Amino acid sequence: MFIIGERINGMYKDVHKALVEHKDDVIIDLAKKQVAAGAQALDINVGPASEDPMKDMQWLVEVAQKATDARLCIDTTKADVMEKCLSLCKQRPVINSTTGQKEKLDVLMPLAKKYNASIIGLTMTKSGIPQDAHSRIEIATQIIMAAQEQGVDMEDLYIDAVILPVNVAQPHAKEVLDTIRQIKVLCDPSPKTVLGLSNVSQGTPNRPLINRTYLTMAVAAGLDAAIVDPMDKELMDEMITAELLMEKAIYCDSYIDAYKKK
């Protein structure tokens, strides 16, 4: 599993406060701890309350790169902010994200090519996120075609079927799993799949339990990458176990330690 750490996000109160007060120690600490816990990339998002996303995103990118050599996953809907941040990345960035809308694809796929970046494509359009897997797959197909036209490798395309909170959008959860399974048989080589896992439990009382249960189900459906809090040890151990049971690793008694050493 390609683990993208979700914690450097202005949706979190500590990160929002660090942004307002320009406290780089908070961000450095979150970057280091997430990488130590198994993150291969760090999601960077200023959150909805940022007054100056261009300035705040650049600051987060710079501070995160002071702390680690991990890849950065640039999480912004603004094309000018995206390009500026891509140009600052020392490692191959991940573009988070495009949707299936033509106007977005026309801008973001060429950026993926220009910066040799991976790119996340959300199965949504101007009209929102469809409920059923069939409509999600239709949008995924548009994204795949745009990647192929621009010469972006399927290895670098991550389709995100977009999971919503189970308390308000319960029927979506199983449709997202069906979408993940179907994407794997759409074309050969197939694109990869990713989820912003923590969305599933927003507003519910037992978030960690819902997160790790759904992650296990997504592993069984073939999920390749996840935006998660890697400092949630139970979540990580359950993910490693699910991958073992899917034969993504060879069994040994110390398989959890073996995963962490690799």
Residues 230-259 that bind ligand THG (CB under 6 A): none
Q: For 92, which DSSP code? A: P
CB 179 within 8 A of CB 189: no
Strand ranges (E), 123-240: 157-160, 192-196, 225-228
The CA distance from 141 to 209, in Å, is 33
Structure tokens at 141: 């197909």
Only one of the segments 19-27, 32-40, 196-204, 252-260 lies at the binding site for ligand THG (rule: CB under 6 A); that segment is 196-204
Pairing of strands 192-196, 71-75: unpaired
Residues 90-109, mask of contacts with ligand THG (x by CB under 6 A)? ------xx------------
224 binds ligand THG (CB under 6 A): no
The distance of closest approach from Cβ of residue 128 to ligand THG in the complex, given in angstroms and rounded to an integer, is 14
| Dihedral sign, Cα of residue 52, residue 53, residue 57, residue 58 | negative
204 binds ligand THG (CB under 6 A): no
**Nearer of residues 199 and 216 to ligand THG, judged by Cβ:** 199
202 binds ligand THG (CB under 6 A): yes
Burial 143-171 (b: 16+ CB within 10 A, else e): bbebbeebebebebbbbbbbbbbbeebee
162 binds ligand THG (CB under 6 A): yes
13 binds ligand THG (CB under 6 A): yes
Q: Which residues bind ligand THG (CB under 6 A)?
A: 6, 9, 11-13, 43, 45, 75, 96-97, 120, 160, 162, 196, 198-199, 202, 227
